[in-house]
Amino acid sequence: MEEEDGGLGRRIRATVSLAGNPVKRHEEFMIATTEEILSPAQKLALMHDIRDYITIEARKQVRLYSHHPHGIGIYQLRDVCQRDILVRSSPHWVGPHLVSFVNHDKAKNYKRSPYSRTGWIMLLGYPLAYKESHFINQACSPFGKVIHWHHTDTSLGRVLVKALQRFLEVSD
């Protein structure tokens, strides 16, 4: 767990900007961060403590976790809903450490855009026969674009959807 800078012969870093819209496949991942300066051994211990906190205290399922250069570690949870609960309720006290969770693609190298509005929407009393992605996209199209449908939700009386709000024109 020791990080090396590459030594004297290392090339100078460059800034890279990527174009296009990648397919979102890793939305259940998040990165744990802290403002504290920790030794490699302390980071390793805290990484395991965070896993225990998520599993025992927060009652969420950790599928995978590993060291990450933008924080203490990267954690894969059971689903996007569990990840968003921990991210939105940050920061958390894990023992004596104040830990925040951020989406895997919104760590140190992310530039925020103040113009996007995303959120979770609960559709109550949703008909069982229409619990298919194309019907859910139609139901959400008047107010937003579906980013993720929480299809593993066991409730028969609702549908949880993460959506990007559409900007509506205001008329007089």
What is the rounded distance in angstroms from the CA atom of residue 71 to the CA atom of residue 144? 32
The residue with tokens 């906190």 is: 53
DSSP string, 75-88: EEESSHHHHHHHHH
**Which of the pair, 128 or 92, is modelled with greater confidence?**
92
The yes-or-no verdict on residue 172 having pLDDT over 50 is: no
Q: What is the pLDDT of residue 4?
A: 55
For 77-119, the pLDDT digits (tens) are 999 889 999 999 999 999 999 999 998 877 665 555 555 678 8
- Cβ atoms of residues 1 and 42 within 8 Å: no
Is the pTM for the entire model greater than 0.85?
no
Dihedral Cα 73, 56, 150, 20, nearest 10 deg? 0
Give the rounded percent of residues in the chain with a pLDDT score beyond 70: 78
- Closest of 150, 133, 30, 51 to residue 94, by C-alpha: 51
Task: Classify residue 129 by its DSSP letter.
Answer: G
- Cβ atoms of residues 59 and 89 within 8 Å: no
- Cβ atoms of residues 92 and 51 within 8 Å: no
For 21-30, the pLDDT digits (tens) are 767 778 899 9
What is the rounded distance in angstroms from the CA atom of residue 100 to the CA atom of residue 32? 6
Q: Report the run of H or E that residue 138 belongs to, with start and end.
A: helix 133-140
- Closest of 88, 93, 97 to residue 36, by C-alpha: 97
Contacts of 77 (CB under 8 A, 6+ apart): 28, 29, 30, 54, 60, 61, 62, 63, 83, 86
Helix (H, G, I), strand (E, B) or coil at 74: strand
Q: Predicted confidence band at 9 (pLDDT cuts at 50, 70, 90)?
A: low
